[in-house]
Structure 1
């Protein structure tokens, strides 16, 4: 007689007052005495797809890796990737033909849709379903949230924003249909409640929040009971996960407390978020890790700043507004400052990649079971062009992607080719996407180094 150990369901929650805390993948969630038990993580089922948008292009000479096909020597802007470059591939000569005639609005709108935005200042806007939402329809079937859309700026602008294009194109990366944009959330508290709250409207969530000092305090009793069912390795994994949740919650609470003392908050920054751009961005990146670790969602989009952002970056010594710097007129001083902003954004992404790699999951890491695309819908911002886009792909795709490379296409190649490839590698198979002409097969071919 074979006795089978009863496994915990993968969708195991700890529930408290207004709280539903999903747990990371545990050995106890895998049935014993099965082939799967030998490898706690089933790579074929752990597929995450993320997109990080860098606004307003970059200084391409300081971006493009100087070496050959191997990403051995990094460019100045990409230099922060040094500790994680073996997990990253840079891709050159991708383009967005449907983003022309060349605007900030179309750069943002076309990045994930590769579609041509309808020229309108009104509500009859029309674009296309974005790649993340195509993935979410399949990958999101088993998760609490089909997808998560987050940003760094308060995107409240309406009407016409850029050369006859409605602001909706600049404000939204994700579109679930050609007429349905999905607004992004910039407030860490609201994102936190979406990930770990049991639902209800905003008033109900805030009432539940007041009943408890901390999310984790409300699930302490249930957590103590669960620990009796877990082995030492699982208890350690859960403890580390809960420590990460508590640390994110502490940082959110501190930012909210600090904002009450700030008489003149940044108008582009929602009240209650960290005053430092880097602290805010790190918090939003950490929320993505928690969301994927708990399998709350498997699809994420993150806008590092909106197109035409006039944000300054005093923490890195750039006191000039970002957007005017991109219209540099070949002024070396302005280009250098713009490149410093580009490098700063990349450094935050590099930290995120390192954290994902350090987050253990099953037989590998969270990064091993994820694919992230980082880049912009604009190439040279001084020209407002949409060719030779700055693009990075990071992750492991369950062992199918080999990083540490630089792929250079001889001819301009549709960004849609990459989107089609990423969809295919996370198990969403399409014959074509937008103006695609095939897949980027090189991205998943082994490279002898």
Structure 2
């Protein structure tokens, strides 16, 4: 690495044999001509989408009142520590998802488009919001976007009421005919972020030649540190420590998997046995990707639609999908709500870490926007009304958190997509079935 400038470029990397590590935002990245004690490096804008399958118990989701977000509902209670940076939106709908299926709940969530009904390969949907963002704010990054999931997506053919499995398997579509598969294995995501090579096989081979990624970048790291001030050295050390810890946990999961006689068929081999530990790893990989400016757009599917996964961490032994067809049985609804709350709690942990991670003049959460929610409202009847939706982050971009926005009349989810794209710097006249922006997200409380 040759440092011929007085300030580091934002795209500075540490390089070793088969490994590349992007750096977090440093004060040394301030252009030399403008650097001063009052200036910090300018952060970038980021967008993330987290998909919760099969709707929820909306009665335990919806907070009391409107405007200021008061006491959080039972499902959302874990978000208390980041309440000032979240907004709950009620009465959003997804009309393009009708006639009402699991496949269209998934496919319409980010596309706001109606899926062509087919069981074959002539599928047709629409370009999703994340990929529109990737075309604008993802240009110039190592990965224009990062697609992640928790389940293996190996089913093909017809999955749901005449709809091809591709609609249920893929949240992100680069075009109406180009779905983007998501990766569920943390090792493979890690290699995408930090490995070098033209193919996944080459990246995997290069990274397996060493005990730790960081072992290969020692010379570059030593050279870099000689150019940095004390504060920046601390930021680099903290980031690399986080990278090493994630790598260690991936290695441990792979080692533990060798002794597991009963693998979960929905889960890739070599991931943590606990769903929560697996999800935390996937969330932390997103934080590393944002810190190193490896990508600025992410999607994450917490489980596939119709998932029969169980969540022993919640004390609920029933598979998820059958519980959603509860027939208005109060006991089943209560058990389903525990799963809903569990998923939200993992998102809350992620937001807390984003809030605790410095980024320029704020935090990663300040400079990122996240949409969390489902394409289904009441799963018992497969409707797509009054969707469970949260927006998080964006304080540095004028987003006003700590609020509950309840629309008097149903509004298209596409309005929210259009608004978030606008906040990220993507100027569109419309998206999907949108009919306007959601100005309430940036309006001060009480106005």
TM-score by shorter chain over 0.5: yes
Name the CA shift for 1:338/1:295 in 2 (closer, same or farther; >3 Å): same
Aligned partners of 1:151 and 1:184 also within 8 Å = yes
Matched, 1:311 2:317: no
Task: Specify the SS of the correspondent of 1:368.
Answer: coil
Aligned partners of 2:29 and 2:41 also within 8 Å = no
Q: Could you tell me which of 148, 152, 155 is aligned with 2:153?
A: 155
TM-score, normalised on structure 2? 0.97
Q: State the Cα distance separating 1:448 from its structure 2 match.
A: 5.1
Give the structure 2 partner of residue 27 of structure 1: 27
Aligned partners of 1:397 and 1:425 also within 8 Å = no
Matched, 1:297 2:295: yes
Task: Specify the SS of the correspondent of 2:217.
Answer: helix
Name the CA shift for 1:397/1:199 in 2 (closer, same or farther; >3 Å): farther
Q: Could you tell me which of 45, 48, 56 is aligned with 2:46?
A: 48
Could you tell me how far apart the structure 1 residues matched to 2:82 and 2:264 are? 33
Aligned partners of 1:67 and 1:73 also within 8 Å = no
Task: Specify the SS of the correspondent of 1:142.
Answer: coil
Give the structure 2 partner of residue 252 of structure 1: 250
Aligned partners of 1:372 and 1:393 also within 8 Å = yes
Give the structure 2 partner of residue 134 of structure 1: 132
Could you tell me how far apart the structure 1 residues matched to 2:26 and 2:218 are? 18
Give the structure 1 partner of residue 115 of structure 2: 117
Alpha-carbon deviations, 1:348-386, whole Å to 9, x = none?
001111100100011100111000000000000001000
Could you tell me how far apart the structure 2 residues matched to 1:233 and 1:287 are? 24
Q: State the Cα distance separating 1:399 from its structure 2 match.
A: 3.9
Could you tell me how far apart the structure 1 residues matched to 2:149 and 2:40 are? 33
Q: State the Cα distance separating 1:35 from its structure 2 match.
A: 6.4
Could you tell me how far apart the structure 2 residues matched to 1:35 and 1:247 are? 33
Could you tell me how far apart the structure 1 residues matched to 2:270 and 2:397 are? 40
Could you tell me how far apart the structure 1 residues matched to 2:444 and 2:192 are? 39
Could you tell me how far apart the structure 1 residues matched to 2:263 and 2:39 are? 50
Q: Could you tell me which of 352, 355, 362 is aligned with 1:354?
A: 352
Query: How do 1:367-406 and structure 2 match up within 5 A?
Result: 367-406=365-404
What RMSD over aligned residues (CA atoms) do the two structures have, in Å?
A: 1.4
Give the structure 2 partner of residue 106 of structure 1: 104
TM-score, normalised on structure 1? 0.97
Give the structure 2 partner of residue 243 of structure 1: 241
Alpha-carbon deviations, 1:86-138, whole Å to 9, x = none?
01000000000010000000000000000000000000000000000000001
Count of paired positions = 444
Aligned partners of 2:30 and 2:42 also within 8 Å = no
Could you tell me how far apart the structure 1 residues matched to 2:346 and 2:208 are? 33
Alpha-carbon deviations, 1:196-246, whole Å to 9, x = none?
011232332232123211001111121011100000000000000001000
Could you tell me how far apart the structure 1 residues matched to 2:297 and 2:56 are? 26
Give the structure 2 partner of residue 58 of structure 1: 56
Give the structure 2 partner of residue 443 of structure 1: 441
Give the structure 1 partner of residue 18 of structure 2: 18
Could you tell me how far apart the structure 2 residues matched to 1:128 and 1:178 are? 4
Task: Specify the SS of the correspondent of 1:143.
Answer: coil
Aligned partners of 2:169 and 2:181 also within 8 Å = yes
Could you tell me how far apart the structure 2 residues matched to 1:150 and 1:235 are? 31
Give the structure 1 partner of residue 164 of structure 2: 166
Q: State the Cα distance separating 1:5 from its structure 2 match.
A: 7.0
Could you tell me how far apart the structure 1 residues matched to 2:109 and 2:156 are? 20
Could you tell me how far apart the structure 2 residues matched to 1:252 and 1:268 are? 18
